[in-house]
Amino acid sequence: MVRWAQRLVAEVLEAGDLAIDLTAGNGTDTLFLARQVGSEGRVFAFDVQLEALQHTGARLTEAGIAWILDGQGDAGTVRLVHDSHARLTEYTQGPARGIMANLGYLPGGDPGLTTRVEITLEALRQALDLLAIGGRMALVVYIGHPPGEEECRAVEEWLQGLSSRYWHILRLQVANRRQAPYLLVVERRG
């Protein structure tokens, strides 16, 4: 699903654009977004776990991409933000052409440090306000564990209430593995 999410965002995200990773974790999507927007672009990547951001930073350094975290590091393409994504609009005003979120908890990490439904919905509302016309937001959601299931339901219910005049919403699921993570992509049409 991560691969599909990246493909669908790559179709609309170009060099020089602004992009946002709402859940940096170990940096897979942050690295993808940074490569996509290039040195003229900007990426904001959020995580509440400092360790996750440090891993992401190390990964970016390996790839030769400049980043800054809480004022430390070289100002460059990526700003790593050690804060909740629910405060997204305190850090950037957009417009962003690509936004990604991979909900749930960090694989191999503490399952208690998972995304929370109310906070997720607040972050997603702000994220849609920042999305550029023609831009896409890709969310990988996890239905396979109880808090994840509640989160999936709440996110989908909210997305279904958005006007189809302005928003196109795609759902991509593994048809022969119903409990597998799935992808929701929101495209802003107007």
Ligand X SMILES: C[S@@+](CC[C@H](N)C(=O)[O-])C[C@H]1O[C@@H](n2cnc3c(N)ncnc32)[C@H](O)[C@@H]1O
> Where does this chain bind ligand X (CB under 6 A)?
23, 25-29, 46-49, 52, 84-86, 102, 104-106, 113, 115, 119
Least distance in Å: CB of 150 to ligand X? Answer: 15
Least distance in Å: CB of 139 to ligand X? Answer: 11
| Nearest CB to ligand X, comparing residues 36 and 166 | 36
Burial of 148 (0-12, 13-18, 19+ CB in 10 A): buried
Tokens of 6: 């990246």
| Nearest CB to ligand X, comparing residues 52 and 155 | 52
Least distance in Å: CB of 35 to ligand X? Answer: 14
| Nearest CB to ligand X, comparing residues 103 and 186 | 103
| Nearest CB to ligand X, comparing residues 45 and 186 | 45
